[in-house]
Amino acid sequence: MKNYIFVLFILILLGCTGRKEGNVVSTNTKWDYPAIKLVDSSNTYWGVTYKDPFRWLESINDSDVVRWFRKQADLTNLTMSNISGRDELIAEWKKLDKLQPPVYTFPDKEKNRYFYQKRMPGEKVSKVYYREGIDGKEMLLFDPMNYIKGKTLSVQQMIGSYDGKKLIISYSEGGAEVSTIKVMDVDSKSFLPDSIYPSAGANGWTFNDKAFMYMWLKTADNKDPSARLNTKTKLHKIGSDIKNDLDFFSNASYPDLKIDPSVYPSAFLSRDSRDYIFAVEGSVQNELKIYYAPISQFSSAKIAWKPLCTPSDKLVRGIIPVDDKVFAITYNGAKNYKLLMADMKKPDWKDAKSISPEKSTTLESIINSKDFIFMIYSDGINQSLFKYDMNKSSTSEVKLPFNGIVNINCLDTKTNNCLVGITSWTKPYTEFFYDATTDKLSPSPFNKPSVYPDEYKNLVVEEVSVRGHDSVMIPLTIIYKSGLKKDGNNVCFMDGYGAYGISNLPYFSVMHNSLAVRGVVIAIAHVRGGSEKGETWYRAGFKTTKPNTWKDFISCAEYLIANKYTSPEKLAGGGTSAGGILISRAVTGRPDLFAAAICNVGCANAMRLEFSSNGPVNVPEFGTVKDSIECRALYEMDGVLHVKPNTKYPAVICVTGWNDPRVVPWQPGKFAAALQNSSVSGKPVLLKVNYENGHFTEDRDVTYANFADQYAFVLWQCGHPQFQLKKK
């Protein structure tokens, strides 16, 4: 694990079941939608029956369902090909990309070798390189464009062995996030015979560099509802048959731990705490559940795992073991979080030492170098960087050259050399080389400053507070071109998320800013369910309090209209992934406020979220129908179930990736079907199906086409003059 910070994967709910036969019904003929069946399907939970006439779409491999999705895709592709401005957006993004310097990601030092991914201007995906020394000659190791003829692969991971002589490379295809793991001999630049598929990625090398651990999946089929249940961490020895790989950590190998089938049981080693083995039960639950054992038991038939922390300890966001000490973030008695230090030999989190007390700003993350623990704090707009000296037991602030959002990457933990990057809504990512011993910042040996036309520098940012439905003040960011008139005639696109305690922090978005320079007002609603204001902000948009998430979004829409940034005829809203709950419920709750909306790979059918491969692991975030209170909360979140017949809904484009392992295609598909069958506004409801994509993809060509369709659709429906039908 990079830098050995134990961070749980953020995974979004899915769902799947069978279908019942029913009648074919006609749909809104103005847009010539594919015919949709309405079936007699329902579930009764806690005395309430919930009808589900589109249930048959959940049989995602059924030929009728496949055909329906294909027809929807054809309709969307035909429609969008006739919208002006779409191709111009793609051309501009590609032009801007070619202006930029090379982009370096995930640099990692092993011995004196620096491994990293690099994408040259105009390239679709990044390649894997290394250097001997930070200023050494660059050597290409892996080109995912040319490895398999006719296929564009994407590198998911690269992990160097401790001696720097071998490199794990895991790659996937079409955004599926199902990895093939290969092992490269760095000196010869050739792959060893070892090849593992399917996998959810590697967990890291053993200290002798002769084996590594990885996450085993029983199937690569993301549409199989059982695909991600009962996963395992397996141990593979280099050169051995993968059929003999050891089940190192799972419910099967340790039934006494009663590991839930839905979680990801992950085991790994830490270079900074070599006397121990670690294991974690990974889910979207923020509270960490981690085990550990002496390294002497590594080869034992059965490891005597002991709890390092349990959910009751309220440790979140990060935990770092260093020798016999362990540092962790907690919200216990600190709504804005604080940093604790405990003794690894006998961890007692109730009496752990407070290293950094709670501040007025929120503690976002931690990372370590040889002598320091770095802490990033946020006020929701700007971040600050602090360092704790483990030798002197003192804390000091790192002075940064300008304000913004901070990213720090320690190249290894044998030195105090790091990379510090800063960005904001209107300032591109700028990276520095940082020597934490001397506090000296210098130009980065990797990423150089980005280059954008002057018009991208002529943007205004307003940070305002909006009174919510319950009088709580909601932060709202508004970005627009200098000189904009607030007369209600501006097209506006507002985005939101509000889940998992993830803050919508400022960063330079080329795509959003390319709309702003075209006169579009960009708004980002910092709704409850994120953690812009700490743990209480997150819990105020969680399960039974989830309605605050979309109600906050609605309040922000009303503010933009009342203050004449836009009008209901010019306002579009968007939500991605878990943000599908936000946008589907905002649209169904207040269809009069929006001219158009984007439900991008969105969770729109909350009551069915837990019934597919990646769904059960997300129950801690959204709830389960097996609990009477949570069941009712899921109904409130469900956009599909709140679509009402004969209602004037906005224009909506739903987007899915056919290979999506996080949000199965029928989630946005059922929302599109329900709207097509019920809306009487005459506005289009389209379903875009990306067959070469999953939840997202590194492939620039696929990404640009995907978002150009989304933005062109809503700008067309909001009346932007550059985005209109080319012909009838």
Residue 55 CA to residue 666 CA, distance in Å, equals 9
Decide if 496 is inside a domain. yes
3-state secondary structure of 687: strand
Give the C-alpha separation, 278 to 289, whole Å.
Answer: 11
Residue 550 DSSP SS3: helix
What string of DSSP letters covers 460-502?
EEEEEEEE-TTSPEEEEEEEEETT---SS-S-EEEEE---TT-
What residue type is 452 in one-letter code? Y
The answer on pLDDT for 14 being more than 50 is: no
Asked if 640 contacts 602 with a C-beta cutoff of 8 angstroms, the reply is no
3-state helix, strand, coil in the chain (%, to 5): 20, 35, 45
Distance CA 375, CA 388 (A): 8
Residue range(s) defining the domain that contains residue 590: 79-94+452-717
Position 728 confidence tier, pLDDT thresholds 50, 70, 90: low
- Does the structure show a pLDDT above 90 at 4? no
Mean pLDDT of 8-16: 31
Find the angle CA(513)-CA(574)-CA(173) to the nearest 5 degrees: 85
Where residue 270 falls among pLDDT bands split at 50, 70, 90?
A: very high
CA 433, chain centre distance (Å): 27
Total residues found in the chain within this entry: 728
Task: Calculate helix-pair angle for 666-678, 579-589, nearest 10 degrees.
Answer: 10
Residue 85: CATH number of its domain = 3.40.50.1820
pLDDT digits (tens, 9 = 90+) for 372-390: 999 999 998 899 999 999 9
Amino acid 7: pLDDT = 36
Q: What is the pLDDT of residues 248-264, one digit of tens each?
A: 999 999 999 999 999 99
Tell me the pLDDT tens digit for each residue of 43-93.
999 999 999 999 999 999 999 999 999 999 999 999 999 999 999 999 999
- Residue 726 dihedral angles phi and psi, to the nearest 5°: -75, -35
Q: Indicate whether 625 pLDDT > 80.
A: yes
**What confidence score (pLDDT) does residue 25 get?**
46
Closest C-alpha to 279, from 287, 635, 271, 269: 269
Q: Is residue 170 part of a domain?
A: no
The answer to the question of residue 653 being in a domain is yes
Number of H helices, E strands in the chain: 10, 41
Give the model's confidence band at 612: pLDDT under 50 very low, under 70 low, under 90 confident, else very high.
confident
**Mean of the per-residue pLDDT values of the chain:** 94
pTM, entire model: 0.94
Between CA 92 and CA 446 the distance in angstroms is 25
What is the C-alpha to C-alpha distance for residues 178 and 47, in angstroms, rounded to an integer? 40
Phi, psi of 108 (to 5 degrees): -145, 135
For residue 99, what are the β-bridge partners? none
Contact 718, 597 (CB under 8 A): no
High-pLDDT (> 70) share of the chain, %: 96
Measure the CA angle with vertex 41, ends 36 and 43; round to 5°. Answer: 140
Is the pLDDT confidence value at 13 over 60?
Answer: no
What 3-state class would DSSP assign to 259? Answer: coil
Gap between the Cα atoms of 394 and 403, Å rounded: 24
| CB count in 10 Å sphere of residue 22 | 16
Over residues 220-238, the mean pLDDT reads 94
User: How far is 555 from 476, CA to CA, in rounded Å?
Assistant: 10
Give Cα separations from 123 to 138, 176, 404, 704 (angstroms): 18, 20, 28, 13
Question: What is d(CA 281, CA 620) in angstroms, rounded to the nearest whole number?
Answer: 13
Q: In what order do the strands lie in the sheet with 103-110?
A: 103-110, 113-119, 127-132, 138-142
Amino acid at 691: Y
For residue 338, the model assigns a pLDDT of 98
pLDDT (0 to 100) of residue 190: 98
Please tell me the distance from the alpha carbon of residue 588 to that of residue 305, in angstroms, as a whole number: 49
Mean pLDDT of 114-131: 97
Mean pLDDT confidence for 597-623: 94
Q: What is the pLDDT of residue 589?
A: 98
- At residue 727, the pLDDT reads 67
| 649 in a structural domain | yes
Q: In total, how many domains does the chain have?
A: 1
- What is the secondary structure of 604-624 as a DSSP string? --GGGTEESTTSGGGHHHH--
pLDDT above 90: residue 2: no
Structural domain includes residue 679: yes
Beta bridge partners of 249: 233
Taking residues 322-338, what's their average pLDDT? 97
- Residues 298, 304: Cα–Cα separation, whole Å: 10
Q: Which residues pair with 576 in a beta bridge?
A: 600
Residue 719 tokens, joined: 């009346």
The residues, ordered by sequence, that sit 6+ positions from 147 with a Cβ below 8 Å of its Cβ are 153, 171
Cα separation, 668 vs 653, whole angstroms: 9
516, part of any domain: yes
Q: Per the domain annotation, does 467 fall within a domain?
A: yes
* pLDDT of 12 strictly over 80: no
Element (H, E) at 69: helix 63-81
Quick check: is 479 in a domain? Answer: yes
What pLDDT is stored for residue 613 in this prediction?
Answer: 80
